[in-house]
Amino acid sequence: MVTYFCLNCWNKVDGKDAVCSHCGFSLTEYSNLSYEKPLILSLHSPIMNNRMIAIQILGELRSQEALPGFKEIIETGNDFYSLKEFYVLSQNSTVLKVKQ
C-alpha cells in the first residue's frame, strides 16, 4: 500500500483526493507546478531522504527561489547538509548574504 502525503502540510492524504483534507492544498495541480516548486515543498518533508534529495537538486540548480526555504531550515534547525548547500547557493545570490 502506498502512503501519500500532502506537499503543502505533509499530513497523510488519500491518493484519490483532489484536495488535502487538512489544509486545502490542491493535490491535482501538482503536475502543473514548475520544476522547482515540488522540490521546494519537499524541503519540509518529514522524510529526511526526500529533504536531502531536494536540497541537493536545488543546490545544483542554484535555485534562487529555494533560498527562503533554505534560510528557514537553517534558522530553525541544525541541518548541516542544508547549511552547506545554502552556503554554495548564497555565493551567487544578490538576495541574501551569509554572515562570515
Minimum Å gap between C-beta 12 and Zn ion is 10
Minimum Å gap between C-beta 37 and Zn ion is 15
5 vs 81, beta carbon nearer Zn ion: 5
19 vs 61, beta carbon nearer Zn ion: 19
Is residue 7 a contact residue for Zn ion (CB under 5 A)?
A: no
Q: Which residues contact 13 (CB under 8 A, 6 or more apart)?
A: 4, 5, 6, 20, 21, 22, 27
Q: Coil, strand, or helix at residue 56?
A: helix
Among 12, 14, 17, 23, binds Zn ion (CB under 5 A): 23
Among 12, 22, 62, 84, binds Zn ion (CB under 5 A): 22
Q: H helices within the chain, ranges in order? A: 36-42, 48-61, 67-76, 80-90
Q: Coil, strand, or helix at residue 26?
A: strand
**Site residues (vs Zn ion, CB under 5 A):** 6, 8-9, 20, 22-23, 25
